[in-house]
């Protein structure tokens, strides 16, 4: 069975936020006074995760990215990975992490099924890194990246949110860092998601400007990767004579929604149809009301029939998602 939305898009990719707690407080992701009060009983249990993932697999979901909050903070994360990895039909389990705890977890989660990892790192200057993340420790993150390399996760992508006047002077250094470690780098435009993201728009650094800097740094050394090869919304390029690629995720400059194949599930079991819009349905409440698997499937199929055509980053629009990114999972 396949999930196909009204615009003919096949949905095969689920981003699952396993927790909405995070040990970092990046200022474009959550407000300074945003404190998380989610308690254990509100989030999906192991049994509920296993059941819902089996249902998604039956509906044609083959890729489940684990995100958060910070996914490595979720109690039993290795167990969750193992149980998702054991589900027939789910063949790809990447992880998005800030890597603060990755040195400790890399071996175990790789063994349990995480084949590849995206790591957020917005600066290579320790003090600046701590400021952006409101307390993050750069050396721990770098140790986490090296641990992922060592255990053989591939590909490893580092993600940098580029902010004008904050870290835009580090674009070249970040490319060199990736090349030196034979890993990939993606630059992300700030998105107006939640009040933190909306406030960060004043520091927006556009795709065009990022590309100019990449071009000037890697003169004649970029080979464009065709979109269907990248399996994601990034515009990407191989860097000649290296083992690295560079890309830009530009949700604001570009609308790549016509190729959208993804949906999101929050830690509390809310199915979100589009990052930029409110439309959602609680699968947790359905599960807890005693419905059958077929009834849950029908609920998901019905939700997909309401998947919006595209995100709306017009902050005055009625349907804009006002949740903080830390709650949605990026």
Task: Tell me the binding residues.
Answer: 15, 22, 26, 28-29, 65, 69, 96, 120, 157, 191, 257, 260, 262-264, 274
CB atoms within 10 A of CB 318: 8
Which two structure tokens, joined as six digits, stand for 245? 């690629």
Considering beta carbons, is residue 252 or 281 the nearer one to ligand SAM?
252
Q: Does 233 bind ligand SAM (CB under 6 A)?
A: no
Binding to ligand SAM by CB under 6 A, coded x per residue (else -) over 72-111, reads ------------------------xxx-------------
Q: Which of 123, 190, 244, 270 touches ligand SAM (CB under 6 A)? A: 190
Task: Please identify the residue of the shown chain whose CB is closest to the bound ligand SAM.
Answer: 330
Binding ligand SAM (rule: CB under 6 A), the pick from 13, 16, 28, 187 is: 28
Q: Which residues, listed in sequence order, are joined to residue 66 by a DSSP beta bridge?
A: 16, 95
Q: Between residues 34 and 297, which has the closer beta carbon with respect to ligand SAM?
A: 34
Nearest C-alpha neighbor of 66 from the set 182, 76, 58: 76
68 binds ligand SAM (CB under 6 A): yes
| Contact (CB, 8 A) for 133 and 92 | no
Omega cis (within 30) before 15? no
329 binds ligand SAM (CB under 6 A): yes
CA distance 158 to 155: 10
Closest by CA to 325, choosing from 183, 123, 144, 188, is 188
- Which residue in the set 191, 260, 267, 303 belongs to the binding site for ligand SAM (CB under 6 A)? 191
159 forms part of the interface with ligand SAM (CB under 6 A): yes
Indicate the residue among 49 and 188 with the shorter CB distance to ligand SAM: 188
Burial class (CB within 10 angstroms; exposed 0-12, middle 13-18, buried 19+) of 135: exposed
User: Which residue carries 């060592």 as its tokens?
Assistant: 150
């Amino acid at each position: 069975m396949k999930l196909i939305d009204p615009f003919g898009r096949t949905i095969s990719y689920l981003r699952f936020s396993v927790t909405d707690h995070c040990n970092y407080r990046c200022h474009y992701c959550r407000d300074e006074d945003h404190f998380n009060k989610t308690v254990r009983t509100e989030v999906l249990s192991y049994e509920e995760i296993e059941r819902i993932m089996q249902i998604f697999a039956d509906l044609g979901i083959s890729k489940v990215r684990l995100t958060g909050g910070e996914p490595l903070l979720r109690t039993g994360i290795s167990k969750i990975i193992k149980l998702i990895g054991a589900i027939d039909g789910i063949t790809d389990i990447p992880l998005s992490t800030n890597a603060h705890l990755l040195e400790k977890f890399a071996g175990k989660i790789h063994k349990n099924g995480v084949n590849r990892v995206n790591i957020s790192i917005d600066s290579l200057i320790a003090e600046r890194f701590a400021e952006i993340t409101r307390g993050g420790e750069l050396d721990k993150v770098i140790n986490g990246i090296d641990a992922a390399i060592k255990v053989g996760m591939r590909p490893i992508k580092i993600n940098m949110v580029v902010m004008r006047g904050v870290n835009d002077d580090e674009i070249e250094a970040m490319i060199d860092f990736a090349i030196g470690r034979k890993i990939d780098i993606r630059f992300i435009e700030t998105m107006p998601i939640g009040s933190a993201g909306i406030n960060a728009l004043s520091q927006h650094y556009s795709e065009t400007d990022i590309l100019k800097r990449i071009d000037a740094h890697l003169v004649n050394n970029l080979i464009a990767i065709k979109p269907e090869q990248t399996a994601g919304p990034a515009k990407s390029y191989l860097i000649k004579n290296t083992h690295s690629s560079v890309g830009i995720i530009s949700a604001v400059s570009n609308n790549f929604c016509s190729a959208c194949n993804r949906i999101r599930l929050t830690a509390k079991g809310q199915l979100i149809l589009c990052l930029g819009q409110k439309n959602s349905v609680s699968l947790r409440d359905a599960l807890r009301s005693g419905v059958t698997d077929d009834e849950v499937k029908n609920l998901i199929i019905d939700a997909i029939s309401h998947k919006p055509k595209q995100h709306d980053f017009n902050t005055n629009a009625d349907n804009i998602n006002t949740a903080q990114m830390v709650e949605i999972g990026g």
